[in-house]
Amino acid sequence: MSKLKIAIQGVPGSFHHQVALRCFGEDTEILAFNTFEPVAKAVATGAAEFGVMAIENSIAGAILPNYDLIDRYELSIRDEYYLPIAHQLMALPGQKIEDIKEVRSHPMALLQCKNFFAKHPEIQQFDDVDTASVAMRISEGKIKGMAAIASEIAAEIYGLQILASDIQTVKDNFTRFIILEKEKSTQKETPNKASFKVTIQNQKGGLAKLLTMLSDKGLDLSKIQSIPVIEKPWEYAFFIDAEFSDSRQFEEAMELLKNDFGGVKIFGEYTSRKA
């Protein structure tokens, strides 16, 4: 029997890799990519059964390009997973913080550690494709004077020494990941959360009308993100996450949106995992 193929952004030891193993188990085949677009493409083409994709962080906010990927590749959100994030500063064994001239990591990780680096202005920061991939590069190249921000597991995998622990600005730091699939599948649990997109023209009171309509139907918005519709000037797409207790009211709300706004696209109905 062939192993389940899971597409992720990042190498072993990355946060995406950890979520994939937690959600699907150790006996899976991980398809690792440097960026998010090939993850979406792998799921869309059937090269992978599922994809794991970070969508927002409690400190750094939403990862806007990923909303567009889900939309363009016609993917469905199957589930979500909240991973507590602890960032470690790591380098080759035997070095001290005073030896570090530069640090590289994913831009979201750097954003989440701003306070730490404000205390160490001598260390230059550089965006990179992934947290764990920098750790791997330092280890394989025996690069001195460079540090990575990654997980404790990444330090163990690549034999690096942790120079500073838990350097994220807010200790109660979580990243929300979504589990993607090509087509909507049957859920074992009754859904109480949905992700969808509504497109509205830039008309007076349009957004207020939208929010009032959703509220009247008992939908509790946990996320709303606006993105301009490039091919239609002055129109905006709103990516919305909403929780509900009555599936019938959710369905009625979607029908009202279709009638009043026209452009409605449901990405997935699933169970909220937020504690």
* Parallel, antiparallel or unpaired: strands 102-105 and 146-150: parallel
Distance, in Å, from the CA atom of 151 to the CA atom of 166, rounded to the nearest integer, reads 9
Q: Which of 15, 24, 36, 177 is catalytic?
A: 177
- 55: closest CA among 216, 240, 204? 240
33 φ, ψ to 5°?
A: -130, 155
Coil, helix or strand at residue 131: helix
For residue 73, give both structure tokens: 């590749």
For residue 198, give both structure tokens: 């509504």
Q: Are 143 and 135 in contact (CB under 8 A)?
A: no
Distance, in Å, from the CA atom of 269 to the CA atom of 249, rounded to the nearest integer, reads 13
Distance, in Å, from the CA atom of 38 to the CA atom of 51, rounded to the nearest integer, reads 10
Q: Which of 24, 131, 175, 239 is catalytic?
A: 175
Q: What DSSP character marks residue 17?
A: H
Amino acid residing at 249:
Q
Coil, helix or strand at residue 77: strand
- 243: closest CA among 264, 273, 212, 263? 273
Identify whether 177 is a catalytic site residue.
yes
Indicate which residues carry an active-site annotation: 175, 177
